[in-house]
């Protein structure tokens, strides 16, 4: 795998985030946008040990994607681990850098605890409205996931970033088109990375199929993605190289 260490372009590094991050200097990244394994998607500890395909994929799909890493921790170990990587990414983030972390309703309280234990200022919770979900009679639809966001200390009000929405409304990529079981919509990630000031390096410590890194590249940011699974690290690199060079339509 090719690794570009100059951080002016896009880089995908295969490895364990906690180990890889230790090699980075302090104050490097302009923002952290990520979607860690939730270790959720199950009603009890036994169900949590199932494959990620069984937890997160539709049984009807013909597109069988490989399982991904790190999704079977119990509650306390997940929270402890989250605080650990959140502290390490904060060390590598610039003063005032924003962080956005995807999560579901079950892990939301643990994530907001871990974020603050790690020293980030928690600034709010965004909603990702997936617009649909499996209907269950007599229940509310589980059609939203959340994005906990914050900053590494003080965030000046004159930052060079636009006003961004608090709700992102976009369905999941079609199962037949996905290259990762829990792939996020590219347009949502393109809108979200704009919270980082121009020129800031975007870090995604759980890159999966590289959606954040690709979005950052398409929006003109340098970016680094870290992914433990060799399969997904290779898929992310290939995707960023092939889809990241498509000329973008310019409004007349």
Q: Which is nearer to ligand SAM, 70 or 119 (CB)?
A: 70
Report, in Å, the least distance between residue 183 CB and ligand SAM: 4
Q: What end-to-end distance do the CA atoms of the chain give, in Å?
A: 39
- Site for ligand SAM, rule CB under 6 A: 16-17, 35-37, 68-70, 180, 182-184, 206, 208-209, 211, 226-229, 232
Q: Which is nearer to ligand SAM, 88 or 93 (CB)?
A: 88
CB atoms within 10 A of CB 26: 9
Report, in Å, the least distance between residue 40 CB and ligand SAM: 10
Report, in Å, the least distance between residue 221 CB and ligand SAM: 16
Three-state secondary structure call for residue 202 = strand
Q: Which is nearer to ligand SAM, 147 or 209 (CB)?
A: 209
Report, in Å, the least distance between residue 10 CB and ligand SAM: 14
Q: Which is nearer to ligand SAM, 71 or 120 (CB)?
A: 71
Cβ-in-10-Å burial (0-12, 13-18, 19+) of 43 comes to: exposed
Q: Which is nearer to ligand SAM, 142 or 159 (CB)?
A: 142
Report, in Å, the least distance between residue 158 CB and ligand SAM: 31
Q: What is the dihedral of CA 190, 196, 198, 201, to 10 degrees?
A: -90
Integer angstrom CA distances of residue 3 from 126, 201, 235, 246: 33, 16, 14, 21
Report, in Å, the least distance between residue 66 CB and ligand SAM: 9
Q: How far is CA 74 from the centre of its chain?
A: 20
Return the residue nearest ligand SAM (CB atom): 208
Q: How far is CA 245 from the centre of its chain?
A: 22
Q: Which is nearer to ligand SAM, 69 or 241 (CB)?
A: 69
What's the CA angle centered on 34, arms 142 and 197, to 5 degrees? 120
Of 6, 20, 158, 31, nearest in space to 94 by CA: 31
């Amino acid at each position: 795998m090719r690794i570009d260490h100059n951080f002016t372009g896009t880089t995908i590094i295969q490895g364990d985030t906690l180990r890889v991050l230790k090699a980075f200097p302090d104050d490097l990244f302009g923002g952290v946008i990520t979607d860690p394994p939730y270790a959720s998607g199950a009603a009890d500890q036994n169900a949590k040990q199932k494959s990620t395909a069984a937890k997160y994929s539709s049984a009807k799909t013909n597109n069988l994607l490989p399982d991904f890493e790190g999704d079977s921790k119990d509650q306390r170990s997940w929270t402890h681990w989250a605080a650990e990587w959140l502290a390490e990414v904060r060390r590598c983030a610039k003063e005032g850098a924003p962080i956005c972390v995807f999560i579901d309703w079950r892990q939301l309280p643990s994530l907001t605890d871990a974020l603050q234990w790690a020293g980030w200022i928690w600034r709010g919770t965004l909603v990702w409205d997936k617009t649909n979900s499996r209907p269950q009679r007599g229940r509310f639809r589980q059609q939203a996931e959340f994005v906990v966001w914050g900053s590494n200390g003080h965030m000046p009000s004159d930052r060079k970033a636009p006003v961004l929405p608090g709700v992102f409304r976009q369905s999941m990529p079609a199962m037949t088109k996905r290259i990762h079981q829990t792939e996020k919509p590219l347009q949502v990630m393109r809108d979200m990375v704009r919270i980082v000031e121009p020129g800031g390096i975007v870090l995604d410590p759980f890159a999966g199929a590289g959606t954040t890194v690709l979005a950052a590249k398409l929006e003109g940011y340098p970016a680094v993605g870290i992914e433990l699974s060799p399969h997904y690290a290779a898929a992310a690199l290939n995707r960023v190289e092939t889809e990241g060079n498509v000329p973008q339509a310019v409004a007349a």
